[in-house]
Structure 1
Amino acid sequence: MTAITSPAVPLELVDFFHTHSCFLIAGHKEPDGDCIGSSIALSLFLQRLGKKTVLLSAGPFQRPEIRMYEPLFSAHVPAEIKEMSAGVGLIIVDCSGIDRTGDLAEQLNGFPVIYIDHHATNTVKVPGSLVYTESPSATFIIQTIIETISGSVTKDEAEMLFFGLCTDTGYFRHLDERSAEVFMHAARLVQAGVNPKYVFARINGGKSFGSRILLSRVLSRMQPYYDGKLIVSYETLADRQEFGIENRDSDMAYQLIQGIAGVKAICVVRQDTETHCSVGFRSLDTVDVSRIAASFGGGGHKQAAGLYIEGRAEELLPRFVEAFAPQLSSAMK
């Protein structure tokens, strides 16, 4: 297996940083810790270079661990930035395309842009972009960029980089034997002043009583398929109305289900409205859930992917189960 290495930073990316005096930094809608950590760490670094930055996100900031950062972000490009005819660059982080920025997308057209991303679904060919699909997080790439240009990270930058790395790797539990360089990156962040114990508590602590009840309902609805290699479950619209999105603890649900002997993949469908669902897929080593998500218009990584789709959970679940057949039926032979 090929080891994960630090990607080479294109000279065009460095030139992009030096060419512009102001940067818009935007990530995907429904941001997670990696998206937020990437955006803030990059903003701090560019400010260290003497640049003006504007953090953008369409939100919503649903995850408890990122809510404290919401005031740093705007859902709109400031009017004074729109009026500037030159000097403004756009950096899309942890995001495979401008369309994935949600309601921001229309406002971002026309700015000179580069992408910093690790999603396998990212096929952009924009000079100066750095898309490294082997990376465990976007923050891993941004740390490489900062260290390449300036030699080291500051404590504030390190805290956001470590936060993003931990959220996208499940606090390192998704990493494998190829990941020595990832741990070396993490070690340098700790050397810069990061407290791993504090970061773990911030990501995993502070959950509400209601979140545990909702988690129990998801677990109680589990159904196995393909001899237990696939586990599916769901949340109802009534669950959402009772507990709200803020009480979802998807990562813990996936973690507990993955601990069941023989499980290779997970699908959880959440009825968000009368007509639409959000869907999360997770897998261990052998199943590529990004292929499943992409077949329904979504995207993501081999081991973590998702989508937002029209339909009712009870109608969608059989379709998702069937979509796993090419990968899991063959695994049963």
Structure 2
Amino acid sequence: MGLNEKPLSTLHEKASYDLADFEVPTGREEAWRFTPLSRLKGLHNGKAEPHGKVGAVAFAPEGVRVETVGRDDERIGKAYVPADRVSAQAYAAFEEALVVTVPKEAVPDESVSIKVKGQGGDGAAYGHTVIVVEPLAQATVVIEHEGSAVYADNVEFVVGEGATLKVVTLQEWDDDAVHVSHHHAQLAKDATFKSFAVTLGGDLVRLSPSVSYTAPGGDADLMGVYFVDAGQHLEHRLLVDHSQPNCKSNVDYRGALQGEDAHAVWIGDVIIRVEAEGTDTYELNRNLILTDGARADSVPNLEILTGEVAGAGHASASGRLDDEHLFYLQARGIPHDEARRLVVKGFLGQLIEKIEIEEIRERVMNAVEAELAR
């Protein structure tokens, strides 16, 4: 299929299943200017040898269908059209896809667990996952990434009418891993989608969550935390495309950075189209820079093409530890290092507390503790 007739926005002008429709990035493009292309190990230019090994295994409660299907399955690519060259490369190169279906009106007692494990960074691997939540169903999905890999994939979340899907993704790769991923949620009438991205590991991780609506009443809540260490590049690029009336979206991402050349990138794009009257949206990104040599780039973008909105706003802030907070704690006998730890935990913990799965919530807080102890 050639170029999609409907441009994503003035910031995302191209969408296509065909790799040939995308030129090789040079780094001068708006979509790639923050990404160190030399560290992508050929994912962006076709030079990556496709013999990497990444395995995905799903564990689902009774009643939830898990299938491994071929490229010709009609559910693949139904909700999402690749929006850049790496995404199109992943779409062109994957061999099998994982499809998880939550049946109509089902409310599983337990979450669906998908574990993605890399088995070495020698060669690239590609993947595709489709999560379908049928009308009036409710489900929680946890996707975990670990190991060493050079990996690009696309994940489609299809949320049916009146359905609710909650997703937690954990990027806990080994230090040498490279991961470029697109997560797209398509919301039907009165559908609810809540996602929480936790990005800690990897040499370079570029995660692009996006949301679109097919009918009124959709509600999307996108949250994320990241902790960037010396030399790491962690990038999150969000796109919420409001093309239906009376839909909602909320974005809240927070990060902490420490160490030389620790680099965080957050791009938040929200489009409110002419036909999307009654939209209510807000996006926020905050970064806490803990040491010299770390850098955070944060760019919120809001395109409003109609004057009939319920609310629309964005905010972004990056700064160092608040000396007043540290002084307040130290004045009460708390040592500096402990005071620093408490401030960072409080900053990230306000979001982490919103992870509804207790085991995952505690695991993430312990991971943040470990990062601070470095």
TM-score range, shorter chain: under 0.3
Q: Which structure's relative contact order is higher, taking Cα pairs within 8 Å and 6+ residues apart?
A: 1
Which structure has the highest helix share of the two?
Answer: 1
Structure 1 length-normalised TM: 0.27
Which structure has the highest strand share of the two?
Answer: 2
Structure 2 length-normalised TM: 0.25
